[in-house]
Structure 1
């Protein structure tokens, strides 16, 4: 009787597999993803992407391996600022606008936060990357 109850419980309450986005091949870091790089597999993976359409056009932040789930920290916007690149640093407050040159201390895409070294003051500040490649500090 216990065996029948256990089998019934496992059949009714067994976890269902959800669709999970996986890489179709080994993909190097800093690669822009295309539809051919991604596939959907029936895996139960918490926190992984379930829609490959959300990933097309994003850049890999680290290497992806075949049939391994793709998680949010693995990808991000395509980088427009590279490490050690000279960027325009912009500070605005009310009607005041100050601009100067800075050196990027990392790489990132539009909307990401980035630490930069102000070349005039030698101070490290953080700001948000703008679509034109400048870094806005508030």
Structure 2
């Protein structure tokens, strides 16, 4: 072969090499959001060669992230033959597993769905020391509730929550759910806010036929029972009327002179009397009729007048009876 022919052959060969496609180098991903339970090579690098993708290990928990540093990236690329552009020991990839948050409303509804029969009415559920959790976004049943234990009298309950897809961490795969459950009941509630010391009337309360709020003491269902009583502390609209909120407003004090009033159709009588015990407005109180020396029972209309109802009968005011009534009034 002549020199000229050799050069020509080299030129042709060179042109053939230049015309062959070069494999593209992979590109590092600085951040990846994944939905799978495993991390793959393609979560770290894009533009991998066909068939080069591999599973590298378990993914973080739903909603959590992990960081892969430069030294580890270099080792992975070397192990799996990844030609990585701009290789650097200072590089880093953040891998985040997608998740949805199960919040308080989710678990409140879950408790309601698993609650034994509460009489068919609504219930209120309050969770104590609650912390939301993240689960896979495509999991239709991410958790199950078991061992629900509810004391209807106190309202307290506990239950155990189990993850459907376990993470391998026992502190995350199951935990205790606790709180209070209150079934609906018929109670009086305050119709508007009132300050401490206010005298309550029937116009200040209304009936709630399906109250599901908290009540730490005996509640009322009759407006007449609270009429004229005094608030021991401030209340808000919608609060249940509880025995602890009220005390009887003393209108007539023991020993006070009063006017005894008896009214019936076509009849109106009055007599001078003396209160044997303290009494609030609307509360029955015993008074002594000074003219007849009989003890009668009536309701204070104001600080100086006690109304005796039709049909009420009196009792003799002998020393023993007065002593007994005085003693019982002191004890009460």
Q: How many angstroms does 1:97 deviate by?
A: 1.2
Conservation of the 8 A alpha-carbon contact between 2:275 and 2:285: yes
- Comparing 4-13 with 80-89, greater Cα deviation is found at 4-13
| More relative contact order, 1 or 2 (CA 8 Å, 6+ apart) | 1
How do residues 1-138 of structure 1 correspond to structure 2 at under 5 angstroms?
Answer: 5-6=146-147, 10-11=158-159, 14-16=179-181, 33-34=196-197, 45-47=216-218, 58=230, 71=243, 75-76=247-248, 78-131=249-302, 133-137=304-308, 138=310
Q: Deviations over 1:96-130 (max 9, x none)?
A: 11111111011122222111111111111101111
Report the number of matched residues. 98
| 1:72–1:90 distance in 2 versus 1, CA, 3 Å | farther
| 1:59–1:116 distance in 2 versus 1, CA, 3 Å | farther
| Higher relative helix content | 2
Q: How many angstroms does 1:45 deviate by?
A: 2.0
Structure 2: any 5+ residue segments left out of the alignment? 1-144, 151-157, 160-176, 183-195, 199-213, 221-225, 233-241, 311-332
Structure 1: any 5+ residue segments left out of the alignment? 18-32, 36-42, 61-69
Q: How many angstroms does 1:34 deviate by?
A: 3.6
| 1:72–1:116 distance in 2 versus 1, CA, 3 Å | farther
Supply the distance in 2 between the matched residues of 1:8 and 1:120 (Cα, whole angstroms).
65
Larger Rg: 2
Q: How many angstroms does 1:6 deviate by?
A: 2.8
* Runs of 4+ in structure 1 over 4 Å off: none
Supply the distance in 2 between the matched residues of 1:8 and 1:109 (Cα, whole angstroms).
44
